[in-house]
Structure 1
Amino acid sequence: MMVGYLIANGLYTFKRYLLDKDFFSILDFLLFSFNLSFAVPIIIHTLNYFPFEKPVYIERKWIIIVPYTIGILNFVALSIVYLFFPTIMIINQAINLSVFVSIGLIAYKFVIFFIFKKKLPKERGNIFLPLKISLLILLASFVYSQISILYFGSPPLFITHLISYIFILLALVYTIGRYNLLDLNLRIRLNIRHSIIIGLWRIFLISILITFILLISTNQYEFPNIHLTKSGIEIIDKPLNPSLQSTYEKLTILILSAIAFFILWKLNKYVKNYLDKRYFKTRFDYRRAANELYDILTSNLSIKDLAIGLVNKLKQQFKLKSVGIIFFRKDEKVCGLEHYGFDDERFMEFCNLWGNDIINNIRSLDRGIRIDYLPQEMKSIFKDIGFRFLIPIKSKGEIIGSLLVGEKLSEESLNQEDIQFLTSIAGQMFIAIENAFLYEDLAIQDRIKHELEIARKIQLASLPNSIPNIEGLDISGISLPALEVGGDFYDFLNGKANEVTVIIGDVSGKGTSAALYMSKVQGIIRTLNEFDHTPKKLLEKTNHLMSKYLEKNFFISAMSAHISIESRSIVMARAGHSPLYYYNSEINSVEKITGKGMVLGLGKNELFDNFLEETRFQFRQGDIFLFITDGIVEARNQNDLEFGEDNLTSLLIDSKSLKASKIRDHIIKSVQDFSGDNNQFDDMTVVVVKVV
């Protein structure tokens, strides 16, 4: 419809004064009249469904009936005038009236919009903005046509109508492509779109300038006859010389044209700056960028902060769609990641899958490369995630990082100057990265040391603060973790004045994890002891609770022994723990008490209960009960020999006359002397109970 209007309007512009009543002249005018009458109603009708349906308009039939009715009346009126009143003046007046009708219909559309604005569906962004602007340009074109005819007496230039309708077509195409409407993918890359808009805008300005020059060149100018004298300026009634009049006219046209050119040049500059900013085409300042990046590189930052600072600054300076940075340790381990332009999970997956391949492919590079030079599989992955360039970061020949750079927001690729700049920056990063590695290592060590010190204090506080004072028993205990914290524990549960329950245990492993489980099982045992359970029942209940919390690769050995002075008996149950070493003073010998039992958390509750057995025997004055963890007998010397049970039993016999605390210290010192300079291999716990 609009193209037909352009053709008809163009033909009619050249033939409007040739009112031949031949077939083609009549067809030209009717085509022109039809398009002039129905172009705006059809546009209004289209906007009821585009870019999406608007039920508030569709349900009210009168909204579209009104413009079509006016269009029909307008077309009929123009046809009657042309066929029955074939004079140029009447036809021109009818056409001018039709243009005013079109202007009124456009205004009608805007009025309808403002009336029902609140009932319209919420827009996605500024989806209607291009269409609104194009309609305003069309309205301006109609107004310009009338001004041109009424005030200058000349018909409007064909190009003004052409531009107004081109804007409508471009607005439709842009809206369809920008919001993926009608299942069409018409998207044009931003840099191409920028060039097209700038080109059309300049054509529009040139057409305005040409139109203005043509308009002022057709006017007649009357200049006063000014004569300069010694005493002043005289205005003479006599007309100017024709040649001088012509010179003044040309000079006036030249000055007005220069003023118009200057105004349009300024307007073009303002619009171009706006479009450059809108399409991210601002000029890049390499010196400023280098200074800002240098400030980040010379700051004492952690790996994470360094990565965040570099990515944010590169994104901001280069106006990038996507950018990422990966740090490597020892040429292979991915240790620091930061990115912009996609979600965390996708980038982490990318780095984990392709980190080593990135190293292998950039090991021999001294500068950045396009991903087109990578192997096909890697190239496809890089393109899919949005990267276009790969820039290595090296230190002493080793790969310690890589910059991953996508295209700019303007959808332009990085030029050679950009790549050289990024390569130069990457060459300066290695010092900052190595400092960040060192800073992070020190921070981790300090944090671990601080946390372990706190954990050690907590663990020591959880061990018995005092030895129970029970007449007839001399008791002592100690626990020495191999690290700052360990998994060994012991406890004295003293419910009555003449009896005590000794608990000793060992959590598999060492360090913080073992200490956490140790604290948990110790708390459970203390709570269950309030119910006055036997040693066997106490371990069974503990296993039922701990099996819910223990991970599969952890288990706990434990022993519970109830010692009664009144009955001179000991009742014990052993859940996979080291045996109880019993010094029998009557025969001056050490026996190993090894009742059946499996470790806590290893098997099902029923299996644990059935396998665990309870042992009871009598004792006499001078007997000694030695509770240990396996760190005592498994301690090794420089020859990789174990301390062993034989040495332990000999020590116990040799120190039988000593107090419990002295026996404890003698065992610990002997083990340490045996180990020599070897580091303590395992946690060591000793509890001595001597009957006095």
Structure 2
Amino acid sequence: MLNFEKRSYHVHIIAWFIGLAAVGFVVYHFYLVSSSPTDENLFTTTPSNIYITKPIHLSRTSGGDEDVHFLQAGDILVAVNGIPIDSARQVGAILESMSDTSEVRLTVFHPSTQNIFTHRVLKKDLPATFYRQIPPSVFVIDVEPGGASDRAGMRVGDVIIKINGKSFTEASEADAILRRGQTGKTLEYEILRNNKRINLHVVLARLGFSIDYLAVFLCGLLYIAVGFFIIVKRPRIRAAFYSGLALLIFGLLINNIYMWRIGPNPVFGKIKSILLVASVFFGIAVMFHSRLYFPKERRELLRKKWVLVVLYVLALAGTISTLVFAKEDSSFYVSLSVLLLYVVVVSFVHRSYRSEEQHRQARILNIATIIVAVMFLASLLMRFLGFYSVSLIYIVAGQSLLPLAYLYTIGRYGLLDLNIRPRRNIQYTIATWAWGLGIMSLVLWIIFSLPNLDLPLPNILVTATNIQVLDTPPDPEQKLVMEKAAVIILGIIVFYAGWIIRKKGQQYIDRKFHQSQYDYRRAASELAEVMAANITMIDLARGIVDKLAELMHLKRAGVLFFEDEKMCTCHQEVGFSDEDLERIIGENGEHLVHVIKEFKAEIHVDYLPEPLKGHFRKNEIQYIIPIYSKARLVGALFIGEKLSEASFKAEDLAFLSSTVKQASVSIENAFLYEELAEKERLKHELDIARSIQMASLPQATPIVPGLDISGKSIPAFEVGGDYYDYLNEKKDTFTVIVGDVSGKGTSAALYMSKIQGVLRSLHGFGLSPAELFIKANQLLYNDMERKAFFTAIGARFELNKQRMVIARAGHLPLYRYNATTKRMETILPRGLGLGLDDKGLFTSELEEQTIDYKPGDIFLFITDGITEAFNSSGQQYGESTLMRVFSENISGNSFSIRDAILDSVAEFASNGTQYDDQTIVVIKAI
């Protein structure tokens, strides 16, 4: 068996040989048929040599027309009592064996009508000499009007017994004698007509070619061309080889079976006869074989080797039996029936093995195959029944569907790894021309047919001054004028109707192939509306690409927006996936922006450097249009092929340039909107964070016996890093913590939240301020950045003992008003900030002090946002101002002291900007 993978070169050579041989054969055959002389009639072999010599009136008739009640002179006797006869002696023997009163059934062929009748007549009514045996002959089935035979007086039904004095045994021999004649020379035909011998002299004419034969020739070439194309393009694929071979064989079959004249070359005639028979049987076999591979391989049948063995054995047997018994048509029909029956049975039995996909892909091919088979069998049946004058155009038109179905199936489902779909602009051109020519041909045919119509005109007479209604038809001259006028009016109506129909059909074709011309002004207006209606980047990008794809009928389009001519901040696309565009952006990055910036107008992708050119070609992008705003690149349009697959015109590119100019303003506005929206979003989020942070601070002042407490924290920004908390785990103790995270804003606030959680968790273990800070430092050191730290001061009030235990971790001192001494004091134990050390230095440096207090003592806890507040002149609030304001308000309660200090700071800062958080806690012993 031929190895298609390893010997594709040999398959290629075989395909070229078979293809060229097939083309050469059909071209030479068409040349012989076209150039050989002809008598411009058609004839075929007479079905019998028994000729009826005289008319006989009959009692009954069956078959054919009921008006025929007699045998006519010139009829051909085919059978007697159902027995086919071939000699006069056989007829006489059958009749002699019957009595005079017996009924005889005579089957006769009427050459002039090409009908077969069966007549029943009593033997005694038959004259003894009503038939005779004639030499082998042919009878005329068609005479071309005005042709050579018609001019010589030949008629349909004439029986030809000699041509130029030469006898023959069948139609092919008679045709060979004819073809040996010369154009312009005379042939003598000896014919029988109504039992009279007549000699006719026919001047031979050159045939040229008829429309029927041209249609057959072109149909055969279509089969051969498609089959040759499939094999040559994919010689490695079995499905391609067998499918192409089947089409090549059927191309030969069509040319042989429908162009039955063979010309004067007897050797070519023999070759033609052999090829005709072989192509019938092996064409069917190879076609069935190909369908086991195409459109999908049917392995369940290919595994059964006997299926193909039996198939080709039947094809070979049918070919040999038909050639051996060439004179017996029954051999051909029986062999063909057996082969077709085998194919149908095997296909029917194994139909369930085909998947739904196989049925779907083979549907058009199956329909075309059935149509071709029906047309082929119908043509054989018509020839068998003697209908030779049927036009071949209708037959070959139906049979042309099979190669077209192959091309459609291959292109529709991408089979055989072939891309044979013509571009849509070519399809559009073909459809436009076909529609226009079809309508024009129909209009011209109707207009030229109008003069031949017998128009039912009313009895009216039109003159220059009036219109008269007549009781009788007008005279012939007046009627002729009316008919001409009517034909002219009808011609104008037909022409106008044809123009309207062509226009409507063309509009449909334009829509179907996306060739409708769009109004540039309307398109620009619609784009402007889209840009005005969408203010976000994503909505604007989506609106632009969707509207462009809709207006320009694009297969794919995309848009990129660039921020600061570096980073792609937004992209949208139509016709290809996000991943493809993101891959281009990700792999090329700023290089893409740099390349686009080199161009100020539209760029064809062929002018891009690699690998950008390869990426865009792969995604079928044709043009890139930069979008500039104030000489700054803010985006780019990617434009793919049109749905019509037509090229871009100058006005298309001008429209795109105008579009990007409109888009540049909208893109700038979108950037501004996104910036404002981002700021608003951040502000909203910070407001939420501020609310959460403020909610995490003490929301109510605790009521502690012996203490008047007040605290407040004011962040410099939406959120801050200052912290204060009241921890009251026992009735006789109260703890206050004030702290400050290094840094400002969100990061400081996040650390503050974490520290708050740690301190609250640890305080539940009853730790002193120093112990609380040590444990907290151990937990926070590994979770804080090296540059971040936390200062804090903590004081535990032992209410029953009126004693305070204080520890300071790098924070500001505690300010105390001593009511006993009437003096301000600064309490500053040693200590490092939390998060700076975990090697023991923090613990060793941390000092815890115990201080007794009396009623009237006031303790002030603050963060550096109080003392380091600046005014507009750059002056610092300072500790001295703080102590002054503190001392001036010692007579008030904790709330008034707190507010006085905060008001003082606010008044000092005036219009200055607050750069640090401000936290204050005042505790007054009472």
Match of 2:544 among 296, 310, 326: 310
Q: Which runs of 5 or more structure 2 residues have no equivalent in the other structure?
A: 1-244, 446-452, 460-469, 474-486
Match of 1:84 in 2: 325
Q: Are positions 1:460 and 2:694 aligned together?
A: yes
Alignment of 1:565-580 (within 5 A): 565-574=799-808, 577-580=810-813
Letter in 2 for 1:167: L
- Residue type of the partner of 1:564? E
| Between 551-560 and 364-373, the greater mean CA deviation after superposition | 551-560
Q: In the aligned structure 1, how far is the partner of 2:349 from the partner of 2:751?
A: 74
Contact 1:573 1:612 in 2 (8 A): no
Alpha-carbon offset, residue 471 of structure 1: 3.1
| CA shift for structure 1 position 395 | 3.9
Matched, 1:617 2:862: no
Matched, 1:166 2:403: yes
Q: Say if 1:482 and 1:77 are closer, same or farther in 2 by CA, change over 3 A.
A: same
Change in 2 beyond 3 A, CA 1:196/1:289: closer
Aligned to 2:248: 3
Question: Amino acid of the residue matched to residue 375 of structure 2?
Answer: Y
2:826 to 582, 585, 590: 590
Of residues 694, 703, 718, the one that matches 1:469 is 703
Counterpart AA for 1:191? R
Q: How does 1:90-489 map to 2 (within 5 A)?
A: 90=329, 94=332, 98=336, 111=348, 115-116=351-352, 120-121=354-355, 123=357, 129=360, 131-148=362-379, 150=382, 153-154=389-390, 156=392, 160=397, 163-171=400-408, 173-174=410-411, 179=414, 184=417, 186=419, 190-191=423-424, 194=427, 284=518, 286=520, 289-299=523-533, 301-328=535-562, 334-348=568-582, 350-351=584-585, 367-376=601-610, 378-489=612-723
Q: Match for 2:367: what amino acid?
A: L
Pair 1:9–1:332, CA change in 2 (3 A):
closer
Listed as ranges, the matches of 1:538-553 within 5 Å are 538-539=772-773
Once the two structures are TM-superposed, the CA of residue 397 in structure 1 deviates from its matched residue by 4.3
Q: How far has the Cα of 1:478 moved from its partner?
A: 1.2
Native 8 Å contact 2:545 2:573 kept in 1: yes
Distance (whole Å) between structure 2 residues aligned to residue 333 and residue 512 of structure 1: 26
| Structure 1 position 482, deviation (Å) | 0.9
* Cα distance change, pair 156–553 in 1 and its aligned pair in 2 (3 A): farther
Spell out, residue by residue over 1:648-686, the C-alpha distance to the aligned partner (whole angstroms, 9 max, x if none). 566656766654334433443444444443210121112
Question: Which residue pairs with 1:244 in the alignment?
Answer: none
Partner of residue 33, structure 1 = 277
Q: Distance in 2 between matches of 1:59 and 1:319?
A: 50
Q: Does the C-alpha gap of structure 1 residues 486 and 350 become closer, same or farther in structure 2, counting only changes over 3 Å?
A: farther
Query: Which residue in the other structure is 1:69 paired with?
Result: 310
Asked if 2 retains the 8 angstrom alpha-carbon contact of 1:501 and 1:563, the reply is yes
Task: Give the C-alpha shift of residue 147 in structure 1.
Answer: 3.9
Q: Distance in 1 between matches of 2:577 and 2:913?
A: 47
Secondary structure, in 3 states, of the residue corresponding to 2:726?
A: strand
Q: Deviations over 1:160-189 (max 9, x none)?
A: 5873453254246426xx54x66x464657
Q: Distance in 2 between matches of 1:678 and 1:447?
A: 26
8 Å Cα contact 1:6-1:162 kept in structure 2: no
Q: Whole-Å Cα distance in 1 between the matches of residues 341 and 529 of structure 2?
A: 61
1:216 alignment partner in structure 2: none
Q: Which has the higher contact order (CA 8 A, sep 6+)?
A: 1
- SS of 1:479's equivalent in the other structure is strand
Q: Which residue of 1 aligns with 2:185?
A: none
- Greater helix proportion: 1
Residues paired across the two proteins, number:
631
TM-superposed deviation, 1:315:
2.5
| Bigger mean CA deviation after superposition, 285-294 or 190-199 | 190-199
Q: Which runs of 5+ in 1 are unaligned?
A: 214-222, 234-250
Match of 2:117 in 1: none
Q: Tell me, what secondary structure is at the counterpart of 1:321?
A: coil
Corresponding residue for residue 563 of structure 1: 797
Residues 770, 848 of structure 2: 8 Å contact kept: no
Q: Which residue of 1 aligns with 2:737?
A: 503
**Structure 2 residue identity aligned to 1:79:** I
Once residues 428 and 340 of structure 2 are traced to their aligned partners in structure 1, the CA distance between those partners, rounded to angstroms, is 31
In 1, distance between residues paired with 2:745 and 2:698? 20
CA distance in 1, matches of 2:921, 2:650: 75
Change (3 A) 1:614 1:533: same
Q: CA deviation at 1:504?
A: 2.4
Contact 2:739-2:811 within 8 A present in 1 as well:
no
The aligned residue for residue 241 of structure 1 is: none
Measured after TM superposition, the shift of residue 488 of structure 1 is 2.0
In structure 2, the CA distance between the partners of 1:192 and 1:623, relative to structure 1 (3 Å rule), is same
- TM-score, normalised with respect to structure 1: 0.73
Letter in 1 for 2:411: Y
Amino acid at match of 2:622: R
Are the aligned partners of 1:296 and 1:309 in contact in 2 as well (CA < 8 Å)?
yes
Shift of 1:617: 1.9
Amino acid at match of 1:36: V
Paired residue secondary structure (1:419): helix
Instruction: Return the alpha-carbon distance in structure 1 between the equivalents of residues 585 and 655 of structure 2.
Output: 24
TM-score between both structures, scaled by the size of structure 2: 0.57
Return closer, same or farther for 1:564/1:347 CA change in 2, 3 Å cut-off: farther
Q: In structure 2, what residue type is equivalent to 1:489?
A: Y
AA in 2 matched with 1:170: L
Larger Rg: 2
Deviations 1:194-213 (A, max 9, x none): 469859x969x99xx99xx9
Choose which of 893, 912, 924 in structure 2 pairs with 1:678: 912
- SS of match in other structure, 2:277: helix
- Answer yes or no: is the 8 Å Cα contact 2:712–2:921 preserved in 1: yes
- Residue aligned with 2:728, SS: strand
Q: What is the CA–CA distance in structure 2 between the aligned matches of 1:130 and 1:528, rounded to whole Å?
A: 76
* Structure-1 separation of matches of 2:343 and 2:550: 43
**Cα distance change of structure 1 residues 595 and 517 upon mapping to structure 2, 3 Å threshold:** closer
Counterparts of 2:519 and 2:642, CA distance in 1: 15
Distance 1:496 1:483, change over 3 A: same
Q: 1:426-448: CA deviations, max 9, x gaps?
A: 22234433444454455445444
Deviation string, structure 1 residues 576-609 (Cα, Å, up to 9, x no partner)? x52342437367431322323523xx777x8798
